[in-house]
Structure 1
Amino acid sequence: MKKTILRGAVVGAAASLALAGSPAFAISGTSADLSVLHAIPDTPVDVWVNGELTLDDFAPGDLAGPLDLPAGAYSIVITAPDATDISSPVIGPVDVTLAANTSYTAVAHLTEAGEPSATLFTNDLSTTAPGEGRLTVRHTAAAPAVDILAGGTAVVSGLVNPKEASLDLPVSTVSAAVALAGTTQPVIGPADVPITEGTNTIVYAWGSAEDGNLALAVQTISGLHSSPDGVNTGEAGLAATGGSSPLLALAALVGILAVGATGAALALRRAPSTGR
């Protein structure tokens, strides 16, 4: 899959696009970090920033970045593959302002009703206390609201698409469960969830249960036990689907987001394949 460095307004950013295991970028007083997650199933897309092709044939499940960008305003448009310009967007234009010394993740995803949408999340880089880590759950799937339970009590209530919830927890293995919003009967779990010191583990549930293509993406941001300036952005990629990886516990934690979804199947419009 071809990937193109940002051009136009972001020339000189010296950023590269990568998948899991990407190197860290130093956020500064004049720059911001931006990662991009393609969470719309089945169809590759093109991503344009400020009218310039940025990601060509960006595949579902791909997580690109982080890009180290000058702080400022950007216009993001998502088109079908082979579009020659942004005149027929699938999503957008979405106008965003990136603040200096801040980390973001832009997610193209389905709404609860199964329609294409985009959400810009601000990643929490605030310092965690010694001996603590952070768990963030982002609901970007076509699914109903859920509660996250600890010891049978809801610690996160009514999480809906496209919202997020974060918890700072002591380093440990936490027994957690998930129930439909307003209930206490676990539908998934209890599951053992590892909490890592100084790390924000961000879990995205995406896809469509109706189409049977629900998937899980995981992004980690480490170095939060020190100043977030120049934070190590850690690894970005997909959670394992088999084996004994501890991320399977996180998959169980958000797996309920697939239950009861009533969204219609996504039909991305394809632009004529005229080439470039």
Structure 2
Amino acid sequence: MRKLFTVVLAAMALAVVAAVGPSAVAASASGPVSSQDSSRQTATVSVLHGVPGVTVDVYAGGKKVLSNFTPGSLSGPLQLPGGSHEIKIFKAGADPAGTPLISKSVTVSGGSNDTITAHLSQSGSPMITAFVNDTSAVPSGQARLTVRHIAAAPAVDIRANGKTVVTDLSNPDQAKVQVPAGTVSAEVLKAGTGNVVAGPANVSIGAGTNTIVYAWGSAQQNNLALAVQTIKT
């Protein structure tokens, strides 16, 4: 099962709203999380294909888990045992005994919710980054918004309701914040320039969810796009 969610680039500004303010935003590098006895449980793992121009097969621990996976696709959740998994990504139909396009050992914790992303570095090299999705509870009527920059593109600023609230979000970092559910008018700007690259756009978010927006693709190749993942908290 897979879903393809694409929205206009301005949806990236979901990460913050003016009502919250810049002090509420936490930007951090991504990475796996470990826990004691993680191998006794399974992790809920989604896979996002953010490398333009190539359809792939995805292997975890030597087993094919996704076939003919197209750019921009987000897989339905897979169940992987907690622990370390060698993730290998091949061009679709390629011999898995050969050299993968990308590979990386990724650790997931039993009971966690994770997204493994295949994407481009800021300079345009293929890479894999694993993110742990925050599923902790939010108060009634609230939502969690997360933006992940996994595109071959410079850093960006986020402006919500006319106010700049996030600056210099770089690949492969993320920013997240708790916000009231509802609709926000948002814009994305090239960092430090004031130049709007998308928006404004009005975007609705649901209560009790973590809405995760991924910016992927390549600015140089003019194929920047977004994928959106929604997880219940």
Fold conserved (TM > 0.5)? yes
Asked if the contact 1:43/1:59 (under 8 Å) is kept, the reply is: yes
Matches within 5 A, 1:50-65: 50-65=61-76
How far off is 1:83 after superposition?
A: 2.5
Letter in 1 for 2:209: T
Letter in 2 for 1:210: Q
1:111 pairs with 2:94: no
Matches within 5 A, 1:129-208: 129-184=139-194, 186-208=196-218
Residue of structure 1 in register with 2:50 after alignment: 39
SS of match in other structure, 1:88: coil
Write the distance in 2 (CA, Å) between the matches of 1:90 and 1:186.
Answer: 34
Write the distance in 2 (CA, Å) between the matches of 1:59 and 1:20.
Answer: 11
Residue of structure 2 in register with 1:270 after alignment: none
Give the gaps of 5 or more residues in structure 1. Answer: 1-17, 22-28, 225-276
Letter in 1 for 2:198: I
Matches within 5 A, 1:1-276: 18-20=1-3, 30-92=41-103, 94-184=104-194, 186-222=196-232, 224=233
Asked if the contact 2:3/2:76 (under 8 Å) is kept, the reply is: no
Asked if the contact 1:77/1:86 (under 8 Å) is kept, the reply is: no
Residue of structure 2 in register with 1:259 after alignment: none
Write the distance in 2 (CA, Å) between the matches of 1:151 and 1:215.
Answer: 22
TM-score, normalised relative to structure 1:
0.66
Residue of structure 2 in register with 1:253 after alignment: none
SS of match in other structure, 1:142: coil
Write the distance in 2 (CA, Å) between the matches of 1:41 and 1:185.
Answer: 25
TM-score, normalised relative to structure 2:
0.77
Asked if the contact 2:43/2:108 (under 8 Å) is kept, the reply is: yes
Write the distance in 1 (CA, Å) between the matches of 2:206 and 2:171.
Answer: 26
How far off is 1:74 after superposition?
A: 0.8
Aligned Cα RMSD in Å? 2.0
SS of match in other structure, 1:156: strand
Residue of structure 2 in register with 1:244 after alignment: none
Q: Give the number of the structure whose alpha-carbon radius of gyration is greater.
A: 1
Asked if the contact 1:138/1:162 (under 8 Å) is kept, the reply is: yes
How far off is 1:85 after superposition?
A: 2.4
How far off is 1:54 after superposition?
A: 2.4
SS of match in other structure, 1:141: coil
Write the distance in 2 (CA, Å) between the matches of 1:186 and 1:212.
Answer: 16
SS of match in other structure, 1:124: coil
Identify the range of structure 1 (32-41 vs 212-221) with the bigger mean alpha-carbon deviation: 212-221
Write the distance in 1 (CA, Å) between the matches of 2:195 and 2:222.
Answer: 24
Give the gaps of 5 or more residues in structure 2. Answer: 5-39
How far off is 1:66 after superposition?
A: 0.2
How far off is 1:119 after superposition?
A: 0.7
How far off is 1:63 after superposition?
A: 1.4
